[in-house]
């Protein structure tokens, strides 16, 4: 019943025929993929916002959970169990996130007579509190970082990490460097944890700013066998959330004796709580190989594909097998090769990882979708696990992850090079993503050298780094969050967009369709179009002549139609693919992908926003307002807090001034671009 049946011994099993996945998006599709291969029928649950999501259409049956917010849909255990009953499911797979580590939900599933595809309720409970989990692990001989109660922290303990006892995924976490900030950060972390997990309990521990995040995949059956199935390194993180994961760990490869110690600690952790099923024991390690228990995730991890790629196992199939009563064999298969996974998010890394919403007009990635296992020899292999397709709407209600792109290679360098190349060639139109950040990271010398601690982005910078001195001959170093396409490529892309638009207009003309737009029998002045890319504007001048198109610059127009433009640039022929959407033109080439917004020649005055206005950068919920109309504020002072896509965002004063208008209140839903407040500077100058 697994990806490698030779590793299982069949025992009397409880029959599973139909599984409900108590989740959404990518992980629901992933579980469905294996369930179908095992001959099981599948049941989806979905919110109103997810009614047309790909996973819903792929299920054999789907049950609507009215509403959009997780609290009224995917976090409603009673509704999920009732959906299983109505659809005739006899098993529930929790996926990850939402209710996956909720012991009362697991207990309710079992009490309803359904098979729970997860660990025992007691095991979930014992790991549900990070405070109690660390005590259990210390007693079992697993290394732990000493817990600090907030009242115990003094200046000698700094910096400390405030953590939510009941949470994960970076929610309810704060790094504190100054003792005077501790109380406020504890309050903020507690409030976020209460909102996200229903439990505001927090604790502190010593913060290792440059630690390595290493975890061990464990599998345990109902007969006492515990496997440690390879380690993963997940040190490339933003906001305490993983971005790039890989197996094996570069640190453990450098310190091979560390692997046996990690595996032994992970098995001890699982045995200490009578664990059954798939789980992950997470550790924080330093460069010398010392490691400390962080937490145990009593579920499947987002990054499980890299373990599947290097071992050939189907971890979801093994979850079904173990839940049915089957036994694991003596030893797991040995890992072969190297696998790296990149999480593709709808977000803007250069703007504090701001999540993005909207229509995903085109989403084309290479690779085999949700293919468990992986090659054991041969050429690099690409796998894509995604919850979206072309045309999907990215809503503000859920996590911003669009897909996981996974590559296997015979060497780590081969895997990194292939993954960067495949990502750079992907066509992603409609929302801004972290794709260029991922590509730059995978190609960065420090990453390729295995120098990948949790402070990677802070150490290597998201923004462009200037030369060391004003007279230095050294070029500026591109920041990791900068686009792969440079200004010269953006300029070329604007030319391409203008030419393709002219060709499109001509093809749609009712008369003289064969002539290019703007063509004149006699020489005439150039046509003009303008496009914006971020804060830059590019103006294009072009003419249609008897001999074809003429544009300014050292280039020749070789061929033009509405979807493809070929240019000869300085003697090098280049092809540019063009896709036009309302208010957006996307140009893809080997030089990089560029998203351009046509600049209106005569903008509508009614659409102009008053100076000094603070607008919502994304749709979301106002969770807190820190000022009132008439208050004086300082530049950088937090004014409004928004929650969107499982992340909290602070809107701060752009300058010193007075809040002359406050347009929102706590609990209010806002759309992108909505005015939140207006700050007026000294003597009537807008902030």
Poorest-pLDDT segment among 396-410, 458-472, 533-547? 458-472
- Report which of residues 623 and 517 the model is more confident about: 623
**Topology (CATH) of 489-598:** Glycoprotein, Type 4 Pilin (3.30.700)
Domain range annotation of the chain: 5-126, 143-206, 212-457, 489-598, 605-684
The confidence score (pLDDT) of residue 602 equals 62
- Render pLDDT for 24-70 as a digit per residue (tens, 0 to 9): 999 999 999 999 999 999 999 999 999 999 999 999 999 999 999 89
Phi-psi region of 357 (alpha: psi -120 to 50; beta: other; left: phi over 0): beta
CATH classification of 143-206, choosing from 3.10.450.50, 3.30.1490.20, 3.40.50.970, 3.40.630.30?
A: 3.30.1490.20
Superfamily name with CATH number, domain 212-457 = ATP-grasp fold, B domain (3.30.470.20)
- Please state the pTM of the whole predicted model: 0.86
Radius of gyration of the chain (CA): 27
- Render pLDDT for 304-341 as a digit per residue (tens, 0 to 9): 999 999 999 999 999 999 999 999 988 999 999 999 99
Is 376 a known active-site residue? no
Residues 92 and 419: their CA atoms lie apart, in Å, by 34
Over residues 638-648, the mean pLDDT reads 81
The confidence score (pLDDT) of residue 469 equals 38
Poorest-pLDDT segment among 89-93, 187-191, 308-312, 404-408? 187-191
Residues 233 and 248: their CA atoms lie apart, in Å, by 7
Give CA 284 to chain center in angstroms. Answer: 21
The confidence score (pLDDT) of residue 34 equals 97
The confidence score (pLDDT) of residue 472 equals 40
**Topology (CATH) of 605-684:** OB fold (Dihydrolipoamide Acetyltransferase, E2P) (2.40.50)
| The CATH number of the domain covering residues in 5-126 | 3.40.50.20
Under DSSP, the state recorded for 335 is: P
The confidence score (pLDDT) of residue 3 equals 40
The confidence score (pLDDT) of residue 209 equals 72
The confidence score (pLDDT) of residue 521 equals 52
Map 113-179 to HEC letters.
CCEECCCCHHHHHHHHCHHHHHHHHHHCCCCECCEECHHHCCHHHCCEEEEECCCCCCCCCEEECCH
The confidence score (pLDDT) of residue 406 equals 96
Helix (H, G, I), strand (E, B) or coil at 205: strand
The confidence score (pLDDT) of residue 479 equals 87
Over residues 284-291, the mean pLDDT reads 95
The confidence score (pLDDT) of residue 8 equals 44
The confidence score (pLDDT) of residue 217 equals 98
Q: Which one from 33, 212, 259, 299 is the annotated catalytic residue?
A: 299
Q: Does residue 235 carry a pLDDT above 60?
A: yes
Nearest CA to 393 out of 421, 356, 422 is that of 356
Over residues 146-156, the mean pLDDT reads 83
Q: Does residue 189 carry a pLDDT above 60?
A: yes
- Render pLDDT for 514-539 as a digit per residue (tens, 0 to 9): 555 555 555 556 789 999 998 899 99
Return the structure tokens found at 331. 């030893």
Return mean pLDDT, the chain.
Answer: 88
């Amino acid at each position: 019943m697994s990806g490698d049946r030779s590793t299982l011994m069949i025992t009397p099993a409880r029959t599973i025929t139909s599984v409900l996945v108590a989740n959404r998006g990518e992980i629901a599709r992933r579980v469905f993929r294996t369930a179908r291969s095992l001959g099981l029928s599948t049941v989806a649950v979905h919110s109103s916002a997810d009614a047309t999501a790909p996973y819903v259409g792929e299920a054999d049956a789907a049950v609507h959970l009215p509403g959009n917010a997780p609290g009224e849909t995917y976090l409603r255990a009673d509704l999920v169990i009732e959906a299983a009953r109505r659809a005739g499911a006899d098993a529930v797979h929790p996926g990850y996130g939402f209710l996956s580590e909720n012991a009362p939900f697991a207990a309710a599933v079992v009490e309803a007579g359904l098979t729970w595809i997860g660990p025992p309720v007691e095991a979930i409970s014992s790991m549900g509190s990070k405070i109690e989990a660390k005590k259990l692990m210390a007693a079992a001989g697993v290394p732990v970082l000493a817990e600090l109660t907030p009242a115990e922290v003094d200046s000698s303990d700094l910096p400390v990490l405030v953590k939510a006892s009941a949470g994960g995924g970076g929610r309810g976490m704060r790094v504190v460097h100054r003792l005077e900030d501790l109380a406020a950060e504890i309050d903020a972390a507690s409030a976020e944890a209460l909102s996200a997990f229903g439990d505001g309990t927090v604790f502190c521990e010593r913060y290792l700013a440059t630690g390595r995040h290493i975890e061990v995949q464990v599998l345990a059956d109902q007969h006492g066998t515990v496997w440690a199935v390879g380690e993963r390194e997940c040190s490339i993180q933003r906001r305490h959330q993983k971005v790039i994961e890989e197996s094996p760990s570069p640190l453990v490869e450098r310190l091979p004796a560390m692997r046996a110690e990690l595996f032994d600690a992970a098995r001890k952790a699982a045995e200490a709580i009578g664990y059954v099923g798939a789980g992950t024991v997470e550790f924080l390690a330093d460069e010398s190989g010392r490691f400390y228990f962080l937490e145990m995730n009593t579920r499947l991890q987002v990054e499980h594909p890299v373990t599947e790629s290097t071992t050939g196992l189907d971890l979801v199939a093994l979850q079904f097998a173990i839940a049915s009563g089957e036994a694991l064999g003596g030893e797991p298969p040995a890992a072969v090769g190297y696998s790296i996974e990149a999480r593709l998010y709808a977000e803007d890394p250069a703007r504090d990882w701001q999540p993005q919403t909207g229509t995903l007009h085109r989403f084309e990635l290479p690779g085999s979708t949700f293919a468990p296992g992986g090659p054991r020899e041969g050429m690099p292999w690409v796998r894509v696990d995604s919850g979206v397709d072309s045309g999907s709407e990215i809503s503000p209600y859920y996590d911003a992850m669009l897909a996981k792109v996974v590559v296997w290679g015979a060497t780590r360098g081969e895997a990194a090079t292939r993954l960067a190349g495949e990502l750079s060639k992907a066509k992603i139109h409609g929302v801004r993503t972290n794709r260029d950040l991922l590509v730059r990271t995978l190609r960065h010398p420090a990453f390729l050298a295995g120098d990948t601690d949790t402070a990677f982005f802070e150490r290597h910078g998201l923004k462009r780094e200037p030369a060391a001195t004003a007279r230095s001959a050294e070029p500026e170093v591109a920041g990791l969050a900068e686009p792969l396409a440079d200004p010269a490529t953006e300029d070329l892309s604007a030319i391409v967009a203008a030419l393709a638009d002219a060709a499109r207009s001509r093809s749609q003309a009712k008369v003289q369709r064969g002539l290019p737009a703007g063509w004149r029998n006699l020489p005439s002045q150039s046509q003009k179009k303008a496009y914006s890319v971020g804060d830059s504007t590019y103006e294009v001048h072009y003419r249609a002549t008897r001999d074809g198109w003429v544009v300014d610059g050292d280039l020749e127009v070789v061929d033009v139609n509405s979807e493809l433009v070929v240019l000869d640039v300085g003697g090098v022929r280049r092809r540019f693919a063009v896709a036009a959407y309302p208010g957006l033109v996307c140009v893809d080439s080997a030089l990089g992908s560029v998203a351009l917004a046509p600049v209106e020649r005569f903008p509508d005055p009614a659409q102009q926003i008053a100076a000094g206005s603070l607008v919502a950068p994304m749709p979301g919920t106002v969770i807190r307002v820190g000022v009132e109309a008439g208050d004086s504020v300082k530049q950088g002072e937090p004014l409004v807090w928004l929650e969107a896509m499982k992340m909290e965002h602070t809107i701060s004063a752009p300058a010193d001034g007075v809040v002359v208008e406050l347009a929102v209140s706590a609990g209010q839903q806002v759309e992108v671009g909505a005015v939140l407040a207006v700050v007026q500077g000294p003597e009537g100058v807008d902030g």
